[in-house]
Structure formats: C-alpha cells, structure tokens
Structure 1
Amino acid sequence: MQPLPTSVLPAGVRARILPGINGLDIHLLEAGFDRKAPAVMLFHGFPEIAYSWRKVLPALAEAGYHAIAPDLRGYGRTTGWSADFDADQIGFRFTNLLRDAIGVLYALGHRTAEAAVGHDFGSSVASYASLARPDIFRRMALMSAPFPGPSAVPFDTAGKPAPAKAPDIHAALPRPRKHYQWYQSTREANEEQWHPKQGLRNFLRAYYHYKSADWKANKPYELRGWTAEELAQMPTYYIMDLAEGMAETVAKQMPTAEEIAAARWLTDDELAVYAGEYERTGFQGGLNWYRARTSGRVTPELEIFTGRTIDQPSTFISGKSDWGNYQSPGALEKMQKTACTNMKAIHMVEGAGHWVQQEQAAEVSRLLIKFLKETTA
C-alpha cells in the first residue's frame, strides 16, 4: 500500500505509513513535521479518513504544531484489520483504538500531545484518550459528538429492586423507523453502501450534503429523552425508515448540480479522494466500530473508568446545524456539568453542519489554535 499522493494534498501536508503499530501499518497525514514542534493528534469519524483534516493540518503547522491525523483502524490506507463481517470485533474496542493512537504518537518521537482532537466517532477516541491518559493527552477538543462521561457501574443497589430498563428506542411508531447505529451494525449495511444503486460517488455526495448546513432543513434542537418518539424527530440519516437502507435514504436528498457547485467545502476532486478510498476498502472497517458499540460486548471494559472525569482543559467545537450535538439526549449538558471539569468553551459554528472541520475549516482552525494558545495544561 502506498501513501496518498502529494497531488491530492495541500502544500505542507505529507502522507506516510508507519509499520508495526499495534498489529497495523498506519497511514497518516501530517504537517509541521520539519521541526521539533509539540504534537496535536486529530481523529476522524465515519465515513471519513485522515483526509477530512486536510484544511486544518496546515493551519496547525503554521501555528507551531506537529499536526498528526491517522487513518484509524478500519479506514483508508491503514492495513492489518479484517474486513470480514464475522471477524472478531474486539479489536475495535476503544481501549485498543487508544493503543493505536499512542503507538503513532510514540513512533513519531512524541511522549505527549498538546491535544487530542476528535470529530464524530473520533470524538470517542479523543475522549477516552483524555480520560485514560491525561499524562499523554494534555488537552481535549471534541467536535459533533459530546462526551457524557464513561459508562457507569450501578451504585448502592444491594437489597434494592432492579432499576427500570432503558426504554426501547425501536418501539413501534405510526411510521416504522430504526436507529442508524443498529442499521450500520447489520450484515447488509456494508454492501448496500459500498455498491449502491446510485453509485458510490453519488451516495457519498448525498450523504455529506444531507448532514451538512447545505441541507437547509438541518435545524437541530435538544431532545427531551432517549425514547423512540423523541429520537424520531431527527432526520432520516439518524432515525431511518424501517424498510430502507442508508443509500436509499440519502438518495432522496441528492443535491442539485447548482448545490454541488456551491459546496466549495467539498469539491468534486476532494469527493473523488473519498470515493477512491472507499471503493477500494468498502465500509466494513468503520462499521465494525458500530458493531462493537451496539452489541454491548465492549461496554463493560469502559466501566473501569466509572466516576472518572476529564480534568484537562477542554473545548467543544461543532456546527450549529449539526444534529450530532443532540442525538444522545442530555450528553451535551452532562459533558459540561459532570464529565469535563475544565470545559473552557462551547462553540456552535455558523454555516456548518456535521462536517464542521471541512465546512468551516478556517473558523475551526482559528478556534482550535486560540484554545491551544490560551490554555495551560
């Protein structure tokens, strides 16, 4: 496997592969590598790759940092993971993903990172990295996915009735629906998105458009609770129609030629990079993250952090039009009040939906650098 070619990367950004990292050969993008600079690690989400940080990396380098964005386990040009649905999902537990991250950091000659920065599913990696190893990850910046705290161990339960079970979010609704994370955990999800009727490139274009600020109906708000009725208020890229897959779902929102031309945050050439990577790998690697979460198999491991807080300086930067801020009701409030004891600021960026670091890269870079410069770890 060769690194991404220089021709698709901004000036000052290079791609390379680090062999032998926790059983993987990890592909990464980096900027600011030509001098001894403090490290900042950036973790992408789904369906993205390290390339999603292409516009932030040069800004961090210019500000004096060694910016490092790996293709995470299951993604892009990182190899060594299995694309088999029936492969053991235990490799995709968050403690192992954290081990991958530490391996990259150490391989590059850094014992600490000035910040763990995570977007979407990468927010969970950044959160648990900051929670488990505050001595390594000295600050934290999350995007699109608030961290409500680690899984809790039941407390003071001896001799008392069992607590009520969580409500069934797949309860029957007048319009039958299903939660996207459980769909993404199914056997058919990879094939349906990898080889959709509209073609992979059009699938990705519609998916990115539908969750961006370009889709004008994205006007999120706080939900009252984790119930089927409340969650069903979200768009169908989160709470899907029962009989449809994700490719069918987003096809209904395919942008017009005019809308595509206006989306300067994701040009056709940039989209081609994503399409080329996913055409080669499929989506199963990223979908294994969903399987590990929805199965409940790895949750008990995270309960070892019960009651622990993230105490290093933290910030949350997200798109104002991003439903990801609210898809887990109460998570944003818990992050501010209990999970993060040193939360400096919450920024909801105008003109951005879910892909905030791409839709409004300059503002995200400004806020991130300001946070790094004005806080002391």
Structure 2
Amino acid sequence: MAQPAPAAAITHRLVPSPAGRIHVVEQGSGPLVLLVHGFPESWYSWRRQLPVLAAAGYRAVALDVRGYGRSSKPTDVAAYRMLELVEDNVAVVHALGERTAVIVGHDWGATIAANSALVRPEVFRAVGLLSVPYAPRGGPRPGEVFARMGGEEEFYVSYFQEPGRAEAEIEPDVRGWLAGFYAALSGGTMPPAGAPDPHFVSRGGRLRDRFPAGRLPAWLDGDDLDVYAAEFERTGLTGALNRYRNMDRDWEDLAGFDGAPVTQPSLFVGGALDASTTWMADAIAAYPATLPGLMSSHVLDGCGHWIQQERPDVVNEILTGWLAALPA
C-alpha cells in the first residue's frame, strides 16, 4: 500500500530587505502566499496555517515584520513607516525568486498587506485581511483623531505613540503583560460587557490595569506564550511599538492614495467580538467601493481578535477555499 507523502519541512532563512534582513519561515511549494503578522506577535502566529497551506499546494511563507524576532530592527523611528514595510514585503517576494505573491495579513499585518497591494499591485496579485478591515487613507490626521477618543480616558494607540512609555509598562514583565493582552482581546476571556474597556487607559494608569488576571485564552498554552515572551524579552518592544509611532507619517506619505480602493481579488475575515470589526463596521459596509474585488467576507460568531489562532480550522478552510478560487 502506498504511503502518504511526508509533510513538507519548515525552513527558516534570512533574506535581504531595505530593513537589512527579514526572517522568513517557509513550508511547501507552489504559488507563493506571504503571511504578515500583527502586534504583538511574530511569524509564530501562523503556525497553524503554514502546514495546511503547504498541504493544499502553496508555498506558505510567514515573516517577522521589521522590528520583530530575527528581522532587523532599525533605530530610527521613521524607519517603521508603512512604505518601508511595503518595500520589505516586495524584497521578500523577490529574494524568494518570485515575481508575484498573494499576501495575507492579520491586525497590523492586515493594514500592511492592504497597503502592499495598493502601492505595489504588480507584485501582490490578491490580498487577504484578517481582523482589521481595509479603510482608505483619508480624513483628519490620525494622531488628532486618536487624541479625541475616550474622553477622560486615553485610547491605547495614543498611549503607544509616546516613545518609551509603553515599554516601561511591558518590559519588566513581558510574559505576564502578553498573557493579559492576549486574554483581553480573545473570545472567552475578554472583559464582560460593561467592564472597563482594555483599549483605554485611565489617566495616570496602565493598559494592563484592565487585563483579565490569571487566565490564558483557550488558543494559547504556556509553551506558546513562552515562544512569544522569549522573542520580546530578547528584542524589547520598541521596534514593534514604532509601527504606532508612524501613523501620521503614513497619512502624509500616502496622500497620493487618498480614498483609493484596493482592486485585486480580496478576502476579509473578522471576529464578531473583536473591536476592530465592530468599531470599523462602516469600513466593512463600504467594501463595494473600497474593495471592489472582494470575493468573500466572513464574521465569525464568538471570536475575538486573534482570529487565525482562535479559530484555526475555520480560517484555514476559508483561506484554502479562497486561494483555490483565485484567478490563475
């Protein structure tokens, strides 16, 4: 009796990019699918997608965004602006010997993926967005918008934008902070309705003051948490947080794309309990104009923010079905 083919091995490599180097983790062969993580994560966030995409006939590649993991960490805050991250993604595609790729992102990675498709459509032929909807550049300067949110409280984005401030909260206890942050935004462990919102900080307080204590979400065991914590204990959080510190620069850099749609074939998957989905409901409603190539859109009941880790089987089924339906 014929034996099943062995699973494709996972390989790690460093490839050149404008950042210096980007760490990529690769499994499988076939059309290239580039997977871009969000905050505060790493390539490891795609550990449950890599083997499934490889088995479905794709070259699945998850990267560490600049500032994370084994990728380069420039010291200049402005080095983390969106256009720099787009060019890192282009460099990865070319370093892997490919001309085009499908790009899929989660959280900040979704925004990076959408802008990669917007700015470099000749490289990124389709785009999948997880958790964070696409919203075109427009409106007032983002820093001004975030500063007005929350009333007497401070929105977490504004909190993250001040250099060194969030680092002082997180870095003395990286593992504990990450555990609380992941739990605060996960279906099943997030604070109940009516409790203080963990996306906001009391004046003079800390973000972690509103995290649920002593509970890990079902998708995260102690070993997984150790992987994330070890990376950030080694690298610190500044590179990751510098993404938030460039939102006004992005608004300036992308002025030429004001209101522009992403026209490639696209996919959106969100969690019904995720603030990114509920707060940005208008962005989702605008998809006929902003994502005219949208092939399917899904909002998963009972799911929080960490969607491909909370619901790996459902997300994998959606991803492989969408990829199979893409034009050749």
Kept after mapping to 2: 8 A contact 1:149/1:338: no
Q: Which amino acid aligns with 1:340?
A: L
What percentage of residue pairs aligned between the two structures are identical?
33
Question: What is the CA-CA distance between 1:348 and the residue it aligns to?
Answer: 1.2
Match of 2:279, SS? coil
CA distance in 1, matches of 2:302, 2:174: 26
Unaligned runs of 5+ in 2: 1-6
CA distance in 1, matches of 2:132, 2:202: 23
Question: What is the CA-CA distance between 1:282 and the residue it aligns to?
Answer: 1.2
Give the corresponding residue for 2:32.
39
Match of 1:298, SS? helix
Kept after mapping to 2: 8 A contact 1:57/1:68: yes
Structure 1 residues 316, 150: CA separation in 2 closer, same or farther (over 3 Å shift)?
A: same
Q: Which amino acid aligns with 1:69?
A: A
Structure 1 residues 171, 53: CA separation in 2 closer, same or farther (over 3 Å shift)?
A: closer
Give the corresponding residue for 1:177.
153
Residues 1:145 and 2:132 are matched in the alignment: yes
CA distance in 1, matches of 2:309, 2:149: 36
Question: What is the CA-CA distance between 1:237 and the residue it aligns to?
Answer: 2.4
CA distance in 2, matches of 1:150, 1:184: 21
Kept after mapping to 1: 8 A contact 2:271/2:303: yes
Kept after mapping to 1: 8 A contact 2:191/2:197: no
Match of 1:146, SS? coil
Match of 2:243, SS? helix
Give the corresponding residue for 1:236.
197
CA distance in 2, matches of 1:242, 1:274: 29
Match 1:350 to one of 292, 301, 321: 301
CA distance in 2, matches of 1:330, 1:191: 35
CA distance in 2, matches of 1:242, 1:128: 34
Match of 1:330, SS? helix
Structure 1 residues 329, 63: CA separation in 2 closer, same or farther (over 3 Å shift)?
A: closer
Structure 1 residues 375, 298: CA separation in 2 closer, same or farther (over 3 Å shift)?
A: closer
Match 2:122 to one of 135, 146, 156: 135
Question: What is the CA-CA distance between 1:31 and the residue it aligns to?
Answer: 0.9
| CA deviation map 1:60-101 (0-9, x unaligned) | 10111111111001111112422xxxx3x2211111101000
Match 1:338 to one of 266, 289, 297: 289
Question: What is the CA-CA distance between 1:150 and the residue it aligns to?
Answer: 2.8
Question: What is the CA-CA distance between 1:15 and the residue it aligns to?
Answer: 2.0
Unaligned runs of 5+ in 1: 1-9, 154-165, 220-232
CA distance in 2, matches of 1:168, 1:72: 24
CA distance in 2, matches of 1:235, 1:343: 35
Kept after mapping to 1: 8 A contact 2:131/2:274: yes
Question: What is the CA-CA distance between 1:152 and the residue it aligns to?
Answer: 6.4
Residues 1:13 and 2:6 are matched in the alignment: no
Question: What is the CA-CA distance between 1:135 and the residue it aligns to?
Answer: 2.0
Match 1:64 to one of 45, 57, 63: 57
Structure 1 residues 216, 178: CA separation in 2 closer, same or farther (over 3 Å shift)?
A: closer
Match 2:165 to one of 188, 192, 198: 188
Q: Which amino acid aligns with 1:212?
A: S
Kept after mapping to 1: 8 A contact 2:22/2:65: yes
CA distance in 2, matches of 1:52, 1:363: 15
List aligned pairs for 1:1-377, cutoff 5 A. 12-18=9-15, 20-32=16-28, 35=29, 37-82=30-75, 87=76, 89-113=77-101, 115-151=102-138, 170=148, 173=151, 176-186=152-162, 187-195=164-172, 199-215=173-189, 217=191, 236-250=197-211, 253-256=212-215, 260=216, 263-293=217-247, 296-328=248-280, 330-334=282-286, 336-376=287-327
Match of 2:62, SS? strand
Give the corresponding residue for 2:3.
none
Kept after mapping to 2: 8 A contact 1:170/1:177: no
Match of 2:242, SS? helix
Structure 1 residues 30, 351: CA separation in 2 closer, same or farther (over 3 Å shift)?
A: farther
| CA deviation map 1:332-364 (0-9, x unaligned) | 222x13211121221112342100011111111
Give the corresponding residue for 1:7.
none
Aligned-residue CA RMSD (Å): 2.4
Kept after mapping to 2: 8 A contact 1:25/1:80: no
Q: Which has the larger radius of gyration?
A: 1
CA distance in 2, matches of 1:249, 1:217: 8
| CA deviation map 1:8-53 (0-9, x unaligned) | xx973222222x3114221111111xx4x11001110000011101
Q: How many residues align?
A: 319
Kept after mapping to 2: 8 A contact 1:218/1:322: no
Under a length normalisation based on structure 2, what TM-score does the superposition of the two structures give? 0.90
Kept after mapping to 2: 8 A contact 1:150/1:306: yes
Kept after mapping to 1: 8 A contact 2:263/2:293: yes
Q: Which amino acid aligns with 1:193?
A: I
Kept after mapping to 1: 8 A contact 2:103/2:124: yes
Match of 2:254, SS? helix
Structure 1 residues 68, 50: CA separation in 2 closer, same or farther (over 3 Å shift)?
A: same
Q: Which has the higher helix share?
A: 2
Under a length normalisation based on structure 1, what TM-score does the superposition of the two structures give? 0.79
Q: Which amino acid aligns with 2:316?
A: S
